[in-house]
């Protein structure tokens, strides 16, 4: 996993995209103390990390909820 300062990231953005396409993960550091503030990961890996496992059905089923799914708070809490 590479660590890059935000200035280097801005200067080499196209190269960073190529590294991500190759499966590389990149930590973004910021400020004088080079504080790690973010991690860039390839999109396919991001999608795999965000799959919700369903308790007893873990590794047997998945559930995806679309962004436009509407459910109001009152229905959710049973009022």
Chain segment 22-55, per-residue pLDDT in tens? 999 999 999 999 999 999 999 988 877 766 666 7
The stretch 1-26 carries a mean pLDDT of 93
Which segments within the chain are labelled E, that is strand?
Answer: 2-5, 26-30, 35-40, 52-53, 62-63
What are the sequence ranges of the domains in the chain? 2-77
Q: Is the predicted pLDDT of residue 65 greater than 70, yes or no?
A: yes
| pTM check: above 0.85 | no
Looking at CATH, the fold of the domain delimited by 2-77 is given as YefM-like fold (3.40.1620)
Percentage of the residues of the chain whose pLDDT score is greater than 90: 49
Distance of CA 41 to the CA centre of its chain: 7
Mean pLDDT of 13-27: 94
């Amino acid at each position: 996993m590479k660590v890059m300062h935000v200035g280097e990231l801005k200067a080499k953005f196209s190269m960073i995209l190529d590294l991500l396409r190759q499966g590389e993960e990149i930590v973004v550091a910021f400020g004088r103390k080079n504080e790690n503030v973010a991690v860039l990961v390839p999109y396919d890996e991001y999608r795999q990390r965000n799959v919700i496992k369903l308790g007893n059905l873990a590794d047997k089923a998945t559930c995806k909820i679309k962004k436009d799914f509407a459910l109001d708070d009152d229905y959710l809490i049973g009022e």
